[in-house]
Structure 1
């Protein structure tokens, strides 16, 4: 019997000025590193398309029943690896790679305005910033109202908040794909420890 827990980590395809999307490059590096023998790591590249995200995420949650889903996106403004605490339901008026945006400009009809991850990103950030990775981490509560935020909110909604989102800077700004892959590994391992502690203590994390 396979007792391994599944962790899904996604990155995005190229879009706009990001001809090579650092998020997917970082996730591919993470795949090489793995998350230890007890974790089945599954990686996926996600289209920068609202409709594709809305179709793909429910199937991922249903099929694999993951312990945790971590979405990774690139931010041209980021100078550090940024741990996003929450996702937002409204304000999606930027066109995607198919020149489409939701008519309602929201993720989930009648969903809450904001959903917080069960993971305390401030605590994760403090721990990984004491490591010797040579990569700085920070925390944000605004993932940007584009496909990153849209994906995060949708996944938080579907997965009972057992989800995280990480923004990485573009490649070459300060770090290589290898640097970012190691940073993702360190952060996700801490997130998994936190989930285990919450389970042992009967906690369910943050509320909006």
Structure 2
């Protein structure tokens, strides 16, 4: 069975829940298409999140790595196209770090493209009526830090692993505390991610 490593961050920024890790818990252990999903929770901390991800890759030897992150304010599932070599935080991470204008990898390239079939993924979700889009900005917080670090690792290791990052909206219970913020039910998020994983095997 082919392995797909699916990661999600712990809650951060004063939230008590993170839709990313909740989705990971729902999909953990499932066989979707030709992939067995292996779930991994990551700390929302610069550096530590990357260390845990690399350990997870070493432990599981997946063919695909998909990292999930919360993007409050987005209306649908966002398939990130590019990671930039910059950590620049407007808030503290969960360990109190707030880097400003710091490269993720010193002397690394400016950016990396995802190697997931993100356009096909987004198109499939839209056909099924699940809000989805392509995104050209994963931000500069821990999500982008992890995305860039993942793609750099895959590039320099030479391993035939495909990788990328997907942002997901608030859950409805979170949006209640953020007037006007869009949200998506966990069931719809999980259904969209399952479709995206199925596209990987086609």
On whether the aligned pair clears a TM of 0.5, the verdict is: yes
- Alignment partner, residue 163 of structure 2: 163
Contact 1:72 1:167 in 2 (8 A): yes
Where does 1:49-68 land on structure 2 (aligned, <5 Å)? 49-68=45-64
1:60 is displaced (CA, Å) by 2.0
1:107 is displaced (CA, Å) by 1.3
1:55 is displaced (CA, Å) by 1.5
| Pair 179,32 (structure 1): closer, same or farther in 2 beyond 3 Å | farther
- Alignment partner, residue 45 of structure 1: 41
Indicate whether 1:180 and 2:176 are aligned: no
1:147 is displaced (CA, Å) by 0.7
1:174 is displaced (CA, Å) by 3.8
1:90 is displaced (CA, Å) by 1.4
Indicate whether 1:119 and 2:116 are aligned: yes
Which deviates further from its counterpart, 89-98 or 74-83?
89-98
Aligned pair partner of 2:97 in 92, 95, 100: 100
Distance 1:35 1:23 in 2: 18
Distance 1:93 1:175 in 2: 25
Indicate whether 1:189 and 2:198 are aligned: yes
Where does 1:2-21 land on structure 2 (aligned, <5 Å)? 4-21=1-18
Indicate whether 1:135 and 2:130 are aligned: yes
Gaps of 5+ in 2: 156-160, 173-181
Contact 1:34 1:185 in 2 (8 A): no
Q: For 1:161-185, what per-residue CA distance to the aligned partner results, in whole angstroms no more than 9, with x for missing partners?
A: 7212111111114422111111111
Contact 1:69 1:164 in 2 (8 A): yes
SS in 2 for 1:108: coil
Gaps of 5+ in 1: 194-208
Task: Give the number of aligned pairs.
Answer: 187
- Alignment partner, residue 203 of structure 1: none
With structure 1 as the length reference, what TM-score do the two structures score?
0.82
1:25 is displaced (CA, Å) by 1.2
Contact 2:8 2:24 in 1 (8 A): yes
With structure 2 as the length reference, what TM-score do the two structures score?
0.84
SS in 1 for 2:4: strand
1:110 is displaced (CA, Å) by 1.1
Output the aligned Cα RMSD.
Answer: 2.0
Distance 2:58 2:166 in 1: 22
